[in-house]
Structure 1
Amino acid sequence: MEVEQGQVFPRLLTVEDVANILCVPLSTVHHWAVQGEGPPSFKVGKHRRFDAALVAAWLEQRKNGAA
């Protein structure tokens, strides 16, 4: 696999980052991930990560009243 020059990767957030951004406890973010709720996430090895753009979109949906 070759990476093209100038290719931009999405900004990845940790569980701690998301908890801080949303002002919720770490346990809430972990619970959401296990239950399939909250912002979309994925695992890299044993580490859960969130695409910053998807977290922002998820939050915007909540602010606009869509669930």
Structure 2
Amino acid sequence: MNDLMTTAQVAELIQRPIETLRYWRWRGEGPTSFKIGRSVVYERSDVESWLRAQKAATSAGGAPAV
């Protein structure tokens, strides 16, 4: 399995508040996440793929796909 990241680590990487990631998770948006016990984690490769998709969506002039 790829490197796992916490919500705080992902928030720091994408320069958004932790609350934003929690909101996106609640809405089913944002990078793919899952739980290990009570902890929400993200695979680094999923976060990087999501970032590439955001870049592609906004570079093409479209609205960002959250």
TM bucket normalised to smaller: 0.7 to 0.9
How many equivalent residue pairs? 59
Give % identity: 34
Give the secondary structure class of the aligned counterpart of 2:32.
coil
1:60 aligns with 2:52: yes
1:13 aligns with 2:2: no
Letter in 2 for 1:52: R
Q: Within 5 A, what are the aligned runs for 1:7-46?
A: 9-46=1-38
Q: CA deviation at 1:34?
A: 1.3
**Which residue does 2:61 correspond to in 1?**
none
Structure with max Cα Rg: 1
Give the TM-score taking structure 1 as reference length: 0.83
Q: CA deviation at 1:15?
A: 0.2
Q: Which runs of 5 or more structure 1 residues have no equivalent in the other structure?
A: 1-8
Q: CA deviation at 1:35?
A: 1.2
Whichever structure has more helix as a proportion of its residues is: 2
Give the TM-score taking structure 2 as reference length: 0.84
Cα distance in 1 for partners of 2:7, 2:41 equals 7
